[in-house]
Amino acid sequence: MESRRVDAASATAPTPRWRAYLALTKPRVIELLLVTTVPVMFLAAGGFPPVSTMLLTLLGGTMAAAGANVINQVYDRDIDAVMVRTQQRPLVTGQVSVRAALRFGILLSVASVVLLATTVNLLSGLLAAAAIGFYVFIYTMLLKRRTAQNIVWGGAAGCFPVLIGWSAVTGSLAWAPVVLFGIVFLWTPPHYWPLALRFRADYRAARVPMLPAVADAGKVADQIIWYSVAMVAVSLLLTPVAGMTWFYTVVAAVLGAIFVAEAIALRSRVRAGAEPRAMRLFHGSISYLSLLFLAVAIDPFL
């Protein structure tokens, strides 16, 4: 009986304040952004980048992404309250006030730009500021609630870490990071649309015109295939542009073939009227990006 009381008490105990603030930053999203930053720094350096540069870039990039994510949740708190998937976010439950969250997001954003500009280089700081501004003003405030192509163009904000990582090491930009930018840009729709397909009822309830919420599932599946094919083509373009070895080329080709095969399988299930199993492609897309960029990090040592 006593153990049951303890379990009940722990189940109803409020979330510690620091956990609520951490949840506002969307740490899983940040992890994925860092997965693309570090390998690009290895590629830019042709090996190991300076440890201090890498650590400062990761810290600044984490703060920039966190700040943008917090402000995003402040603005989208009305949507989050409607969608079942997001109803436990701190601003919806009242664990953090809107004013406190906005201060937190702005502080993180400004601090990230200042940190990168003063300890890494000015270009990386400016790119971080552009990423934050694009995510907050272009995607969150302008595109998300107005167009079915919201995640296509808004997803560009998630591509900036590859530019920041490259500029942190070299102090400039080149065609290689532009190609890497293109990979992440084209990866975003086939990564996110399966998730939106799984939770399209949520987006419809919140009146967010994410493509799977406003278009036929077959059309969404077709778009996923086209973006996947384009993504794989751009990933192979990195070989001549950045002088990658056979190792990266083989990994990119194999991973790309698997990704496209999964996208085709999703479309086949949709056309057959079966359960799409969209989350399979969503989780697979994360593995694809992680392994592809791991190959980017390893290639300079071969």
**What are 225-274's pLDDT values in tens digits?**
999 999 999 999 999 999 999 999 999 999 999 999 999 999 999 999 89
The per-residue pLDDT for 193 is 96
Whether residues 111 and 30 fall in one domain: yes
Q: What's the sign of the alpha-carbon dihedral 179, 183, 189, 190?
A: positive
pLDDT digits (tens, 9 = 90+) for 105-137: 999 999 999 999 999 999 999 999 999 999 999
Does residue 155 belong to any structural domain of this protein?
no
Mean pLDDT calculated for residue range 13-18:
73
Range of the domain at 256: 174-302
Distances (CA, A) of 134 to 95, 103, 139, 225, 231: 27, 19, 6, 26, 22
Whether residues 289 and 230 fall in one domain: yes
Whether residues 185 and 129 fall in one domain: no
The per-residue pLDDT for 13 is 52
Whether residues 210 and 263 fall in one domain: yes
Mean pLDDT calculated for residue range 296-302:
97
If pLDDT is split at 50, 70 and 90, which confidence band does 169 have?
A: very high
Does residue 153 belong to any structural domain of this protein?
no
If pLDDT is split at 50, 70 and 90, which confidence band does 207 have?
A: very high
- The tally of domains found in the chain comes to 2
| Whether the Cβ atoms of residue 134 and residue 164 lie closer than 8 Å to each other | no
Cα angle 213-283-224, degrees, rounded to a multiple of 5 = 45
| Whether the Cβ atoms of residue 255 and residue 291 lie closer than 8 Å to each other | yes
Cα angle 20-23-25, degrees, rounded to a multiple of 5 = 120
DSSP code at position 250: H
Does residue 143 belong to any structural domain of this protein?
yes
Does residue 168 belong to any structural domain of this protein?
no
The per-residue pLDDT for 33 is 84
Q: Which of 129, 147, 165 is the last residue of a domain?
A: 147
Does residue 72 belong to any structural domain of this protein?
yes
Whether residues 190 and 272 fall in one domain: yes
Does residue 157 belong to any structural domain of this protein?
no
Whether residues 47 and 135 fall in one domain: yes
Query: By mean pLDDT, which of 6-15, 32-41, 50-59, 185-194 is the weakest?
Result: 6-15
The per-residue pLDDT for 1 is 43
Mean pLDDT over each residue of the chain, to the nearest integer: 93
Q: Which of 97, 129, 147 is the last residue of a domain?
A: 147
Does residue 163 belong to any structural domain of this protein?
no
The 10 Å CB-count burial string (b at 16+, else e) for 204-226 is bebebbbbbbebebeebbbbbbe
The per-residue pLDDT for 16 is 83
Here the CATH number for the domain that contains residue 29 is 1.10.357.140
| Whether the Cβ atoms of residue 168 and residue 120 lie closer than 8 Å to each other | yes
29 vs 96, more confident: 96
Whether residues 200 and 267 fall in one domain: yes
If pLDDT is split at 50, 70 and 90, which confidence band does 14 have?
A: low
pLDDT digits (tens, 9 = 90+) for 268-292: 999 998 989 999 999 999 999 999 9
Does residue 34 belong to any structural domain of this protein?
yes
Token duo for residue 37: 């930053």
Mean pLDDT calculated for residue range 46-61:
96
pLDDT for residue 7 is more than 60: no
Here the CATH number for the domain that contains residue 195 is 1.20.120
If pLDDT is split at 50, 70 and 90, which confidence band does 4 have?
A: very low
Whether residues 229 and 285 fall in one domain: yes
Whether residues 138 and 245 fall in one domain: no
165 vs 29, more confident: 165
Whether residues 117 and 188 fall in one domain: no
pLDDT digits (tens, 9 = 90+) for 175-205: 999 999 999 999 999 999 999 999 999 999 9
Whether residues 70 and 34 fall in one domain: yes
Whether residues 232 and 131 fall in one domain: no
Q: Which of 147, 165, 194 is the last residue of a domain?
A: 147
